[in-house]
Amino acid sequence: MNLKTIAKLAGVSTVTVSNVINGKYHKASKETVERIQKIVEENHYQPSATARSLIMKRSRIIGVVIPNLQSTECFSVSPYNTQILGHLDRYIRNKGYYMMPHCVVQSSDVLPILATWNIDGALLLGVAAEDAVQLHQKLKIPAVFVDTYADAPALATVRIEDRKGGYLAARHLLEKGHRRIAFVSPSTVYPGVMQERFLGFQEAFRERGLVLPPEDCFTIRDTLYERGVDVGIKIAADPSFTAVAAMADVLALGVMEGLRRGGRRVPEDISVIGFDDLPECQYAHPKLTSISQHIEEKARCAGEYLFSMLEEEIPADGKKVIDVELVERQSVLPRTLSGKSKSGGSSLPAGMPPEKPIQK
């Protein structure tokens, strides 16, 4: 079965058949469209993807770029990457397109790759602001940057309220009576996701008239589970810590394992909160309290933005920010119920005033 055969059965030209198959219904009558579609369906005809791309001048392929992964790693090393790629793939498939994921060590490595790919658009995850601006200037296709903090007006970005997320994590632990809290994250020195979460975390402390000591901040190279385990063991050795806030769920899960190896129970001895609200939070024991960044909504917004540029040809000049929320589970207890010393007494400072809820 080919276009000529369908055209003969439908009594029309091959051009008309091609137009109908490629969705150009305005170039044929309703009766002709229905007749061709019936023939196609009855004969299980599948048009050549290559031929369609040549006709429509589109490949129907969307590139998804994941930076900061070494050549020995794959994107599944991060449960977050797995989640957002799954949601992006579903959105792209439902649009009749195909997703082509690619991992790079540095964001700049993507330019020669995108230049050789025949793709219609790109979604770039976690690109630093300065890299995003340079990439945008050189890219010749519609692109949306996810989790990028950049002020460039022509840059299309989708991100979450990272600062609010850090604030909510700290506020929750402080309201539970915790004061010695370990903050665990990759570097917060550079502008971006982790710095914003750190700033929000500090803000909650300041509202209480408190300061987060530098020695209570544990900086790790990346958000791998193993890094969390190592940090958890270190934190377990200091009984004055009563809570841990990890800026990624996979880190928090590693921290919980490290604390267990160090002889401390979660949440009876020490509370733990994560960030992302991955499905793994519900599988953990205890179930992990986390900051939800609504990954599915973030993926959908990124997809909608990219396809609006592809289909409606609007300029890439928008900024979409997704809200966050605290999801309480089992890994956090009030300070009066957890973090007690081995002698059984509470280590709360004497005369601590009662807590007042923070309004924001």
DSSP string, 247-308: SSHHHHHHHHHHHHHTT--TTTT-EEEEEE--THHHHSSSPPEEEE--HHHHHHHHHHHHHH
**Displacement of CA 37 from its chain's centroid (Å):** 39
| Residue range 32-46, pLDDT digits in tens | 888 888 888 888 776
**What is this structure's pTM?**
0.78
Q: Which of the 8 DSSP states describes residue 21?
A: H
Among candidate residues 119, 82, 249, 243, the one with its CA nearest the CA of residue 171: 243
Q: Which amino acid is at 25?
A: Y
| Residue range 196-226, pLDDT digits in tens | 999 999 999 999 999 999 999 999 988 889 9
Q: Say whether pLDDT at 68 is over 90.
A: no
| Residue range 117-166, pLDDT digits in tens | 788 999 999 988 888 888 888 888 899 999 999 888 788 999 999 999 99
